[in-house]
Chains A and B, each alone.
Chain A
Amino acid sequence: MKIITLSIITSSLVMAGAYKVPEQSINSMALGAAYVAHTEGADTAYYNPANMAFMEDKQFAEVGLTWAHLPRNEFVGNQAYSATEVYAANNKSEIENLQLPFMHYVANPIGDFRWGTSLTIPGGLTKRWESGHQKVSAEEFTLKVIEVNPSASYKVSDQFAVGGGLRFIYSEGVVNSDGGVIKPLKREMEGSTIEFGYNLALTYKPTADINMAATYRSKIDLGEEGEANLYISGVGKQFDASVKVPLPAALNLAVSKTWEDKYTVEVNYERTYWSAYKELDFNYGTPIQAALYDSFDASKPKNWNDTDTFRVGITAKVNDTVTVMAGYAKDETPVDKKYVSYELPDSDANIYSVGVRVKANENLSWGVAYLHDAKDALDITASDANVNGIIGKFSEGGADLLTVGMAYTF
């Protein structure tokens, strides 16, 4: 079973640390995902289901679409295949323009219980190099992830609520490599999977204007299974193929403070357990040809590190109609220079965001948010001993995202 609309309505993107995408609604985009303790709309079902317990006795719905523009990565440097095979490898990756949808819904309470659900794109990456030494290993690496996340809350008291949900993940992966005239080897692989996980949440409100929250999303191993066409110099064979990449667990701790029921500041700390990504190991149903082994079968070490992300978001209700938001996040890459590869030349980032939400009438509101992900340049020297033979500097990259959406209460 596949979600065929996935390939139509989404592609994937790289931002916010490796291939996890935390911004999945108007507010979260406007606040740079500093949006866990103080959540108000239908997206509460996703960001902190415990908070559904404190929402008004209405139904909430939100839909929207994010346009993502991913500029080129520029690489200036060399590719070393061995100590004696070192080649100039200056190149630029392809520009990506993507559309990412989201939907959220929170139902009326049933006693102290309440449920909701979300459709999101919680992770993904795409990186294409259409020429040069980069194409040898990463002509295209695409990971698409879509999540359906039904959740529920239980109000323990007026100050304390807990929540949790089930995560239904559908994912598709595409891996293409083409050695061209450099190496007579080529790979075309497509796979997909359906996986399951869970999420937990709790909120404590020591006072009416302070929210303290913790959320946890479980690790989900995306075991992509499909087929691979492997070519040696133009002659290909098809194999059953699989590869496993983790969608890492993440712990969020957040606190918010609201003044005069108008101004809210939220501070958020996120720990993402990327260390689960130890290796990238493609497996095949039958042994592949010996000449292909090193390039396409041997396990590639990743050894990623757990990361810390710090976020702050500010919300101001200008009047009964208009709410403005802004956010900042300092995001850490999980990828050590030793293990950087062309499919994901990730680096630390500063994330800036703004947004506005306008109430059109009693039930309907709409909003716009913009986020800029500014990646640091990544300089890999010979002393970094990069396992993929990369010696040089990655620059540019990052992302610009524009989200529009509308919310309805009834």
Chain B
Amino acid sequence: MKKIIKSVAMVAPLLFIIGCGDTLSQPSNETLKGGELMVEFSSELMKKTLIDAKVADENTTIFGYKAFKIPYTTTDEKGNEVKASGLFVIPTGLPAAVQPFGLSMVSDDHGTIFANREAPSVIADTNGAPDGSAIILTALGGFATLQPDYIGFGDSSEHYHPFVLKESLANATVDFIKTVKIFANENNITLNNQLFLTGYSEGGYAAMATLKKIEEESTGLTVTMAAPMAGPYALKTMADGVLSQPKLGVPSFMANVGYAYAQANDEALNSIINEPYASKLPTLFNGDLNRTQIDPQLTLDTTGDTGLFSSSFVSDYFTNDTNWFKEAVTTNNLHTWAPETSVKLVHCQGDDVIPYGISQLTAGTMTAMGASSVLVVPVELALGLDYNVTHGTCGTLAYKVTTGIFAQVRQVTIGY
């Protein structure tokens, strides 16, 4: 036995080399106050990326791209505080002579999305690479781009998205602009006082709602110019048109309007939407699916037994002036006011989803109500195209036109 004990004692020291080790330290990202760095591409890398993508050549001036996710607090339709998020993108590698002027801001409200993975800050987090309109506005245009995720996406993905509801969209945008200004100040990012507003489709609507809120309320913000693009500003007119047609072009759009408006107005969804769709919408709009996944699960029929909207609702909408949905879309119209800010309504004449006439109606109504600087900018004309462009392909072209308009203003007012 003594021998065994002695033997064990000989090898026991082996066991004492066992201990606890360290785990890998966190990535050495730039530390920021009030936000998180999501993407950083140098101007050289950005240029190589855009040349590889055949959207630029060696002679194109391209800036670096640095994107931050910024959390902030905003307010929904019912006045509840919501923890939201957005993406703030700045250009890097600007000439030294330009830097003292600071960056001009473009608040860029994104278009209609359904899946949370399509939100700006989520895309940046998922891809780690530049994406979408911020490439045009920031890497090519040299603007600081502000993209709120909106309520319902990003950090507030548990909340329903208030689709084309002006109050929530304007709140989400204005609160994000204010937060970004604080973020920039605390992180030595120099901004100037220029603030441009834009956005495409739902983003165009949101940009117009934002302008209205800034002009009518004490937000402390001043808008240099607004260029909403292809937005459904005349919402009541849009609703009248859609509900009077036998077929829906994009059923998810109107289904989402019905879903969001029912939630915001505490109305039962099945009071306007037929089964089985009324029961399906909460799942379809839970943020997991995108438009191409949702549309096939809906009907193209506007109303009737096989339609999306119940016949009784559609009938009441057209005959009853106190129909709650009619009142709600009328309340959310954004064309019946007179902005003091210069407004360019950028829109493709061939738009098959939001008719070009909506921008013409908006400009006409606003001018009639006293606005002095509201103009429609047809994208095809601005770019010298000899063909009409539809809603789906117009976005990139519209951003190109809008970026050019904003750059002209900056050149005239600031000098670069």
* Chain A residues at the B interface, C-beta cutoff of 8 Å: 1-7, 59, 61, 103, 105, 107-108, 110, 115, 117, 119, 148, 150, 184, 188-190, 192, 226-229, 231-238, 289-292
Contacts and interface: CB of A to CB of B under 8 A. Distances in A.
Interface string B114-127: 00000000000111
Contacts of A231: 27
B17 A289 contact: no
Given A107-B4, A237-B27, A238-B26, A148 B14 contact: yes
A235 B20 contact: no
A4 B128 contact: no
Nearest to A109: B3
B129 interface: yes
A54 to B, nearest CB: 19
Nearest to A103: B14
Nearest to B13: A103
A148 B13 CA distance: 12
B24 A227 contact: yes
Instruction: Give 7 nearest A-B pairs by CB, closest first.
Output: A236-B27, A2-B21, A232-B128, A107-B7, A227-B24, A229-B27, A289-B128
A385 B10 CA distance: 54
A292 B37 CA distance: 18
A289 B27 contact: no
Nearest to A231: B27
Central interface residue in A2, A107, A233, by most chain B CB within 10 Å: A233
A192 B14 contact: no
A4 B19 contact: yes
B128 A235 contact: yes
B59 interface: no
Given A59-B10, A233-B40, A233-B45, 6 more contacts: A150-B11, A192-B21, A233-B128, A233-B129, A235-B38, A236-B29
Nearest to A5: B17
Nearest to B19: A4
B28 interface: yes
B93 to A, nearest CB: 13
Nearest to A184: B45
B19 A1 contact: yes
Interface in B1-51: 3-4, 6-7, 10-11, 14, 17-21, 23-24, 26-29, 37-42, 45
Interface string B87-130: 00000000000000000000000000000000000000111110
A144 to B, nearest CB: 12
A2 to B, nearest CB: 3
B23 to A, nearest CB: 6
A4 B126 contact: no
Nearest to B38: A235
A190 B20 contact: no
A4 B17 contact: yes
A41 to B, nearest CB: 15
Contact of B24 (A4, A117, A229): A229
A291 B24 contact: no
Where chain B touches its partner, the secondary structure class is: mixed
A229 B26 contact: yes
Contacts of A108: 3, 7
B29 A235 contact: yes
A193 to B, nearest CB: 12
25 contacts: A1-B18, A2-B18, A2-B20, A3-B17, A4-B17, A4-B20, A6-B17, A7-B21, A59-B3, A59-B7, A103-B14, A105-B10, A105-B11, A148-B14, A184-B41, A228-B24, A229-B27, A232-B128, A232-B129, A233-B128, A234-B40, A235-B38, A237-B125, A238-B24, A238-B27
Contact of A117 (B11, B23, B38, B125): B11
Contacts of A184: 41, 45
A2 B19 contact: yes
A5 B29 CA distance: 30
A110 B7 CA distance: 12
A238 B236 CA distance: 48
Nearest to A150: B11
Contacts of B40: 233-235
A286 B154 CA distance: 18
A327 B21 CA distance: 39
B349 to A, nearest CB: 35
Contact of B42 (A3, A5, A233): A233
A369 to B, nearest CB: 23
A228 B26 CA distance: 9
Contacts of A117: 11, 14
B11 A235 contact: no
A61 to B, nearest CB: 7
A115 B37 CA distance: 58
A190 B25 CA distance: 10
A124 to B, nearest CB: 17
A188 B24 CA distance: 8
A189 B24 contact: yes
A46 to B, nearest CB: 13
Contacts of B39: 232-233, 235
B121 to A, nearest CB: 13
A103 B10 CA distance: 11
Nearest to A234: B40
Contacts of A103: 14
A369 B126 CA distance: 55
Nearest to A183: B45
A3 B27 CA distance: 25
A290 B131 CA distance: 13
A306 B284 CA distance: 53
Contacts of B27: 188, 229, 231, 235-238
Given A289-B127, A291-B129, A3 B19 contact: yes
Given A61-B10, A148-B14, A235-B37, A107 B3 contact: yes
B287 to A, nearest CB: 17
Interface in B118-152: 125-129
Contacts of A291: 127-129
A343 B23 CA distance: 23
B127 A190 contact: no
Nearest to A168: B14
Nearest to A119: B14
A192 B40 CA distance: 31
